[in-house]
């Protein structure tokens, strides 16, 4: 309608071309509650995309915590305040014992940026190994090993990329062997160019690479390789962290590996901007005193209150377990659909982090990005929000809030079936 067109025109004029919107006919949202989002006309949409509002939109416990703290005090971390200490204790208690210290930033990009700085300082190396289509953030240092940014960035001369393990096209044995071998080859190549490896950084469920979750344990040979080479392993948990995988609070736990640093963000404040690194104290023993680390907003009292409310809620509401249980149920429903519709080539993931690969030819596993776009649009018409990812944008990205119910899962599966039937 006219009002919406006018808003889009104003937006384009003032924000410019970098701010792209989802959907040909953009969604004009005004409110969120639980697993639902509401548009300006009062239409209700099931949110199966948003892994920031992990507790559901506008969760009352987080709203209350932020509101309470906003009215009392907000300041940076150079004054003594209980909030950040309480929060850091609660947060690190969810990690294996060795990962016992935390540093706070505002975004996942900053967390990864700080992780690179620490890794380079600690190892004396500069080399970085990441995956072919990774996204680790927007700062210049991090963009250098975020190939998914495409032509807007140039990979750094000290960066090597390896293929993320494609569980649709390789067997578990092949992948486990291949990923370790590829990382060893990347290390050897860095050395041939006189570059000492500083770190291997990977998602622990590969997100922009195509939502590959397994096989469990496949990271181990690669992590062993970087450690033998004197580098650190950084687990990027910005997407799979905080219970989303259902099987564990943190994705790396599914692989039996010990990261040196874990970067976290997105659902950490259920929408309040906060992120950080959890690390082994040995890693920053030297760096810390010389770092002069300061972040104006990172770890402030409001962030600490929001973060604490999020962790409390995950525990009180049993959300990790719900992610496991409803995730399995949803995955079964999606797999059942794939029996009827050969366009669904693969259903994969863990907990409520699910990818559905859409193919033109099931035998050849040929990606169908056009059909994928039509499915995403078809679901939107049926008031369900998801997105697509992967090298060919042909993988449905399903990451609903962790409070998703079986009934919500049914809504999604039924709507997807309906779209596939009519498309
Ligand atoms: N790492 C991963 C895996 C991400 O998905 C993202 C954001 N999409 C980031 C890091 C960067 O986080 P932020 O947008 O908060 O800077």
Q: How far apart are CA 120 and CA 123, in angstroms?
A: 5
Tokens of 83: 């909030």
pLDDT score of 288 more than 90: no
Predicted confidence (pLDDT) per residue in 347-406, tens digit:
999 999 999 999 998 899 999 999 999 999 999 999 999 999 999 999 999 999 999 999
Exposed / middle / buried, residue 414 (Cβ in 10 Å: 0-12, 13-18, 19+):
middle
Location of each CATH 3.90.1150.10 domain in the chain: 18-47+318-422
- Pairing verdict, β 261-264 and 232-236: parallel
* CA distances for 291 relative to 94, 100, 124, 287, angstroms: 26, 19, 15, 6
* pLDDT score, position 292: 82
pLDDT value, residue 42: 96
Residue 162 near residue 91 (C-beta atoms within 8 A)? no
Q: Is the pLDDT of residue 183 over 90?
A: yes
Stretch(es) of the chain classified as CATH 3.40.640.10? 61-316
pTM: 0.97
* pLDDT tens track for 52-75: 999 999 999 999 999 999 999 999
CA-nearest residue for atom 14, ligand 1, is 108
CA distances from 60 to 73, 185, 262, 372 (A): 20, 50, 28, 35
Q: Who lines ligand 1 at CB under 6 A?
A: 107-109, 112, 135-138, 203, 207, 236, 238-239, 265, 275
User: What pLDDT, in 10s, does the model give residues 18-42?
Assistant: 899 999 899 999 999 999 999 999 9
Unique residue bearing structure tokens 């469920």: 205
Predicted confidence (pLDDT) at residue 215 exceeds the cutoff of 90: no
Q: Considering the chain, what percentage of its residues have pLDDT values greater than 70?
A: 100
Q: Is the CATH number 3.60.20.10 carried by domain 61-316?
A: no
3 Cα to the center of ligand 1, angstroms: 33
For a mutational test of ligand 1's pocket, the pick from 52, 109, 355, i.e. the residue with the most ligand atoms closer than 8 A to its C-beta, is 109
Fold of 18-47+318-422: 3.90.1150
d(CA 265, CA 136): 11
Residue range 38-55, pLDDT digits in tens: 999 999 999 999 899 999
Q: What was the pLDDT predicted at 50?
A: 87
């Amino acid at each position: 309608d006219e009002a919406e067109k006018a808003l889009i025109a104003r937006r384009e004029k003032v924000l410019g071309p970098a701010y792209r919107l989802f959907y040909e006919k953009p969604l004009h949202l005004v409110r969120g509650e639980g697993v639902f989002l509401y548009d300006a006309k009062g239409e209700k949409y099931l949110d199966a995309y948003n892994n920031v509002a992990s507790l559901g939109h506008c969760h009352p416990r987080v709203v209350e915590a932020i509101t309470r703290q906003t009215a009392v005090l907000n300041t940076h971390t150079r004054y003594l305040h209980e909030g950040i200490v309480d929060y850091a204790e609660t947060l690190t208690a969810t990690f294996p014992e060795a990962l016992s210290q935390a540093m706070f930033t505002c975004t996942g990009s900053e967390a990864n940026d700080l992780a690179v700085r620490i890794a380079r300082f600690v190892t004396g190396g500069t080399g970085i190994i990441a995956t072919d289509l990774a996204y680790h953030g927007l700062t210049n240092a991090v963009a250098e090993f975020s190939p998914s940014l495409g032509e807007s960035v140039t990979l750094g001369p000290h960066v090597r990329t390896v293929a993320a393990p494609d569980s649709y096209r390789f067997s578990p044995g092949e992948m486990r062997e291949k990923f370790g071998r590829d990382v060893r080859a990347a290390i050897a190549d860095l050395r041939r160019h006189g570059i000492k490896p500083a770190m291997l950084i990977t998602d622990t469920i590969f997100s922009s690479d195509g939502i590959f979750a397994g096989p469990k344990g496949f990271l181990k040979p690669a992590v062993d390789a970087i450690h033998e080479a004197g580098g650190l392993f950084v687990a990027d948990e910005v997407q799979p962290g905080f219970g989303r995988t259902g099987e564990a609070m943190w994705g790396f736990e599914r692989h039996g590996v010990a990261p040196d640093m874990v970067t976290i963000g997105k659902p950490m404040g259920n929408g309040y901007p906060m992120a950080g690194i959890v690390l082994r104290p040995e890693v920053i023993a030297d760096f810390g005193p010389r770092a002069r680390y300061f972040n104006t907003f990172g770890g402030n009292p409001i962030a600490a209150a929001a973060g604490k409310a999020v962790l409390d809620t995950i525990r009180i509401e049993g959300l990790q377990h719900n992610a496991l249980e409803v995730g399995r149920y949803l995955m079964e429903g999606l797999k059942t659909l794939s029996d009827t519709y050969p366009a669904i080539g693969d259903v994969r993931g863990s907990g409520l982090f699910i990818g559905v690969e859409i193919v033109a030819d099931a035998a050849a596993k040929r990606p169908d990005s056009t059909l994928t776009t039509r499915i995403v649009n078809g679901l939107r018409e049926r008031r369900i929000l998801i997105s697509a990812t992967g090298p060919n944008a042909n993988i449905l990205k399903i990451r609903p809030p962790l409070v998703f119910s079986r009934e919500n899962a049914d809504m999604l599966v039924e709507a997807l079936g309906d779209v596939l039937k009519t498309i």
